Structure 1
């Protein structure tokens, strides 16, 4: 009775049925990371002339926001957006804030996915014909 016939299944997170999609997702992650780093570097360089009271550069990199996953047409892609800290203040007391144009705050789905979901519902589910909806 000690012999078990239960077959252990691989965990879904460790199993990739399509290695091509995995390669594409890894490439998208690396490309997005590079683009965000370039965007932050450009933002800081644009404000490099601003100095604080001690003569140091006013805007500096300050770690990362929590990692989040963004749903795209190729699946989920993990994203880490850098933080930018403003050590000084404007005349009115406000601070300069960095907001990524590529990955705005609270973005969870790419625009193409958000546009596809209503189309799938209206054309696919109501008629039962997904061919036109999936072509979009």
Structure 2
């Protein structure tokens, strides 16, 4: 690179030090709380919020499906698709935690 700069008519600055650093000394290292202790309240809030959002999304999808299928009937006249209530809670594993 220097050779190319000289050939192009430019000379590198000769009075600069070879190495320059922004910091002359090492900084101070601080120790923080253990990550799990700090994240526990936040993780609980996120878990509860995710559970509510997932419940709302599933309920909305089920309602939309039932609305779309309300005119479908069996041969004897009964509704083809009905909502029988809610089954037992299952578990869902996410990256944050396991939900019931």
- Selected match of 1:66 from 88, 96, 99: 88
Tell me, which stretches of 5 or more residues in structure 1 are unaligned? Answer: 1-15, 79-136
Equivalent positions of 1:63-102 (< 5 A) are: 63-78=85-100
Offset from partner CA, 1:2-33 (integer Å, 9 cap, x none): xxxxxxxxxxxxxx951110000000000000
Offset from partner CA, 1:84-108 (integer Å, 9 cap, x none): xxxxxxxxxxxxxxxxxxxxxxxxx
| Max Rg structure | 2
- Selected match of 1:40 from 62, 71, 75: 62
Tell me, which stretches of 5 or more residues in structure 2 are unaligned? Answer: 1-35
- Selected match of 1:26 from 45, 48, 51: 48
- How far did 1:54 drift? 6.2
Structure with more contact order per residue of length (Cα contacts < 8 Å, sep ≥ 6): 1
- How far did 1:52 drift? 4.1
What SS does the corresponding residue of 1:37 show, helix, strand or coil?
Answer: helix
Partner of 1:49: 71
- How far did 1:55 drift? 4.5
Q: How many residues align?
A: 63
Q: CA RMSD in A?
A: 2.2
